[in-house]
Amino acid sequence: MTETKLMALREAVNLAMSEEMRKDENIYLMGEDVGVYGGDFGTSVGMFEEFGPKRVKDTPISEAAIAGAAIGSAITGLRPIVDVTFMDFITIALDAIVNNGAKNNYMFGGGLKTPVTFRVASGSGIGSAAQHSQSLEAWLTHIPGIKVVAPGTANDAKGLLKSSIRDNNIVIFMEPKALYGKKEEVNQDSDFYIPLGKGEIKRQGSDLTIVTYGRMLERVLKAAEEVAEQGINVEVVDPRTLIPLDKELIINSVKKTGKLMLVNDAYKTGGFIGEIATMVTESEAFDYLDHPIVRLASEDVPVPYARKLEQAILPDVSKIKEAIIKVVNKGN
């Protein structure tokens, strides 16, 4: 029987890193405030004491230098985990990631691996304002050679992070900062891995498929449970990784329900859910649709600092429920 423990998402991230670092001395953690402070979101508490300053390395405040150092060390055979803190800060590191790390495997015919996991606290919901609240996955999914992982539960975060650390490519690992403190049952097996590219149906249904990930998973599941009282049966598909994407899982679900809604908390224009919508329209699932595909996402405005304004621009349970009812009733 699998042993589980009630853990917050930040604790699951800590456990995943610690387990992998105990297994492989080439794995190390680097970033701002990851050492004695334990990480800006508490994700590396206790790791400095266990692994020491050579393997839990505090860095200067320069994301460009951090990314360059990480990619350089990966080329030499190490496996760095980089705590970028806020996802917004990855913009400063994009040259090293996009123009170097993501290209190495291809340009050297598979002979030069670049196993770096960039952990980023993504999304809004904690009042961090416009420069610390973005979900920029669409920028990164556009680049061949980068894998993008987006867990929505603590247990998924553990299993997916362990697989990310073992991957030989650049991996962007999105951690929904609004869920860092949410506690769930987490698998305690040190050999628990969730393969990248394998999604999961979080709720079975027959009337509508909703594809969502990260922070919005919690809200979509709650909305699905509430509309079930009205006899509406929603299927919730969590891809868990955006690149590689479990296309077959999504297509099969849409073929079953005939309707598709996509929900995330990134900006709507140019967001990754638009890519999922296009993928479905180009597949055999298109002929099964009996309602236009619907997208719910953040408004195309900088994220406000004021909590009420911040919540107003995001999909919440009531907005998701309203959209579900509209789609299902119109489709019928």
Which residues are part of the catalytic machinery?
63, 132
Q: Which stretches does DSSP call E strand in 177-225?
A: 183-187, 200-203, 208-212
Measured CA to CA, the distance from residue 310 to residue 299 in angstroms comes to 10
Maximum CA extent, the chain: 61
Three-class DSSP labels, 69-134: HHHHHHHCCCEEEEEEEEHHHHHHHHHHHHHHHHHHHHHCCCCCCCCCEEEEEECCCCCCCCCCCC
Sheet of strand 208-212: strand arrangement: 200-203, 234-238, 208-212, 260-267, 294-298
CA-nearest of 132, 110, 46, 43 to 81 is 43
Q: Are 158 and 192 in contact (CB under 8 A)?
A: yes
Structure tokens at 323: 């959209």
Measured CA to CA, the distance from residue 144 to residue 97 in angstroms comes to 11
Q: Are 241 and 199 in contact (CB under 8 A)?
A: yes
Question: Would you say the C-alpha torsion 271, 310, 149, 255 has a positive or negative sign?
Answer: negative
Residue with tokens 């970033």: 31
DSSP run (H or E) holding 253: helix 247-257
Radius of gyration over every alpha carbon of the chain, rounded to an integer in angstroms: 20
DSSP letters for 277-296: HHHHHTSGGGGG-SS--EEE
